[in-house]
Amino acid sequence: MRAKFTKQSRFIITIAAALFAIGTTPAPAAAPKGPQISRSIARPLIAAQKALQEGKFAEGLKNLKEAESKSGLTPFDHKTIDDLKAYAYIKTNDMKNAEASWEAALATGACSPADTLRFTRAVFQLSYNGHEYPKAIEYGKKLADLGAASPDIYAVIGQSYYLTNNCKNAGVYMDKAIAATRKDGKVPQEGYYQIKLRCAFDAKDTAGEIAGYSDLIRLTNKADYWNALLRIERQDEKQDRNLLMIYRIMYNTGSMKVGSDYVEMAQLLGDAALPGEAADVLKKALASGVIAPDQQARTNRLLADMQKRADADRKGQPEFAKEAAKSGAGQLYVKLGEVYYGFGDYANAASAIETGLQKGGVKSVGEAYVYLGLANQQLKNYPAAKKAFAGLKGVTTMPPNILKLWALYAGTLGAT
């Protein structure tokens, strides 16, 4: 079952406070150098600044409107008045008029480079917060043209594209956000990848969903992402050996949450002549409380059967080891190693499988490398585990999607 995403879902991406600290800076004043305000508006403008500094915002706006009504104003006069008006509107929580005032200030053509950057940033944030996504995109791109785009700005542009149903450009800008974050030596936000995943989900793009969950796993290694990915991979799989491989990853990533999954995995392990491992899987299922009450008796019967078979395997293990040593091929050593693994004897499991691979003649090479990797992982020998999983690259008996899953799994080893 796929996760449900909606445009009403809470987005993880947030606009950083550094974008524009609206309302936290003192009221702007006319610059002492460069262009100067006209003498005709000096009195009402000074009165407005004084009122704003004292927190009398309604009075300040009244003075500013008086200044604005004077004739013969220069573009610099208008820019100064508009900036002060925007500040007053912000302080009175009138975001629409603040946005319009800064837009008007930009339109005067009298802005310094610093003013242009500040006003553009303000309109960008206000338009996004006001759900004016096309305008947020427009002003976000202007910030990029000014050389002021940060990962957050790219991400908000991407999110705005998503909210206007333009997933193609949403992906482009999320990729820009990811690249800019990594260039800064930081870890990208999950939300950057989640937007791309949501686009794939909306488009019913299964390949895109797989890629999205894989990216999020590389980023976070969270069990929920593993669970979602493996359920997609499992839904059309018919081969038992491939299903077992998927279940092994689900089990080892802690992403197996449903009792029926544990039971099916145990049955597949039993069919593969690995009752010891099957018994452990069932014990974990019963201990974790995921088995429904009406299924506990059946599960306990299956556990008793697997335990009985496992006990017989344990008794016959010394004889099995002798047979493996006499064999000219390595297949029996590999199988012996898998049995050792099921009993939790990881050192002997790794040793037996390595011996089998060295002897050659192994039919189940894919399974051999998987168990060798898992055994070394249990021994916390992560370099050896990664090396074993890397051996799967040359295996032709496993489908490409299963090989990719194990490569993804190997990349998470040792991660905390």
Tokens 């306990």 sit on residue: 300
List own/partner pairs for 300-303 with CB under 8 A and 24 or more apart.
302/263, 302/266, 302/267, 303/266, 303/279
Distance in angstroms (rounded) separating the CA atoms of residues 61 and 84: 8
Domain boundary among 124, 158, 186: 124
Distance in angstroms (rounded) separating the CA atoms of residues 288 and 408: 26
Cβ-based neighbours of 39, under 8 Å, separated by 6 or more: none
Residue 360 lies in a domain: yes
Residue 183 lies in a domain: no
Alpha carbon distances (Å) from 41 to 51, 75, 106: 15, 13, 20
CB atoms within 10 A of CB 270: 20
**Structural domain containing residue 359:** 221-412
Residue 206 lies in a domain: no
Tokens 């009993």 sit on residue: 343
Residue 141 lies in a domain: no
Alpha carbon distances (Å) from 405 to 210, 226, 230, 245, 309: 10, 10, 9, 9, 31
* Residues 348, 337 contacting (CB under 8 angstroms): yes
**Could you tell me how far CA 21 lies from the centroid of its own chain?**
27
Among candidate residues 114, 113, 107, the one with its CA nearest the CA of residue 81: 107
Cβ-based neighbours of 359, under 8 Å, separated by 6 or more: 327, 328, 329, 330, 333
Q: Give pLDDT tens digits along the chain (416 positions).
A: 444 444 433 344 444 333 444 444 555 655 556 788 999 999 999 999 999 999 999 999 999 999 999 999 999 999 999 999 999 999 999 999 999 999 999 999 999 999 999 999 999 999 999 999 999 999 999 999 999 999 999 999 999 999 999 999 999 999 999 999 999 999 999 999 999 999 999 999 999 999 999 999 999 999 999 999 999 999 989 999 999 999 999 999 999 999 999 999 999 999 999 999 999 999 999 999 999 999 999 999 999 999 999 999 999 999 999 999 999 999 999 999 999 999 999 999 999 999 999 999 999 999 999 999 999 999 999 999 999 999 999 899 899 999 999 999 999 998 64
H/E segment holding residue 411: helix 400-412
pLDDT value at position 28? 62
Residue 152 lies in a domain: no
Which residue type occupies 411? Answer: G
Q: Which tokens go with 38?
A: 């006209």
User: Do 108 and 244 lie in a common domain?
Assistant: no
CATH of the domain at 61: 1.25.40
Residue 340 lies in a domain: yes
Q: 152-161: b or e for each residue (b if 16 or more CB lie within 10 Å)?
A: bbbbbbbbbb
CB atoms within 10 A of CB 94: 17
Q: Name the 3-class secondary structure at 118.
A: helix
User: What is the number of structural domains in the chain?
Assistant: 2
Domain boundary among 80, 101, 124: 124
